[in-house]
Amino acid sequence: MMHADNSANGESQEELERLLLEGFDSTDDTSTRSTQTPVKTDDEDEEEPDFGQSDVQGALGLFAEAAQDMATAGVELALGRHFACADYCNQAVEKAAQAVSLLRFGRRMSYNHDLRALGAAVGAPPNIQDEMDILTPFHPEMFYAETPPETADEVISAEQAQEYMQHARNVMRWARSIVLAV
């Protein structure tokens, strides 16, 4: 049986998670990032989840899929496929929220492509619900109802796609703080 050095692996794991969530940016200065867990204050009414009925493995697996979708969003952005980037951001956010649902409730929430409502259902704070809401229009069914597929990448600029990735990263950080804290 092999034993790993947890301190070295922990640092490598954190860097891998950061790259999956945020991608590589040559101007990125990781020394300014805080790795501390936020301290909960008395005025927060959030209940502690009942992990007796949670699906920890399912939550971890789904969060990993969300992280993969974020990596794919970065690739799509680099290829100039701006709608595909936004679509993957939408998918990543949905999977991250559903991972929280699996952890907190042991099941996925019913979902009708309204990411704000999904965020509220899984207990996301209002600022995270706002971030999720920005990505709601990029579910293909909704987006293609008003935009022909052949013009999809033309209606979203590279700058907008980058902004959508940042909104998705913010949601991913929130979900990560819950899912990976177990």
pLDDT tens, residue order, the chain (182 aa): 444 444 444 555 565 565 556 654 433 433 333 333 333 444 444 444 444 588 999 999 999 999 999 999 999 999 999 999 999 999 999 999 999 999 999 999 987 899 999 999 999 999 999 999 999 999 988 888 888 888 888 899 999 999 999 999 999 999 999 999 97
Q: Which strand (E) or helix (H) includes residue 166? A: helix 158-179
- The per-residue pLDDT for 29 is 38
DSSP reduced 3-state for 155: coil
- The per-residue pLDDT for 16 is 54
Residue 41: DSSP 8-state: P
- The per-residue pLDDT for 15 is 59
- The per-residue pLDDT for 92 is 98
Round to whole Å and give the CA distance between 106 and 98: 10
49-179 is a CATH 1.20.120.330 domain: yes
Round to whole Å and give the CA distance between 52 and 155: 46
The CB density around residue 65, as the number of other CB atoms within 10 Å, is 16
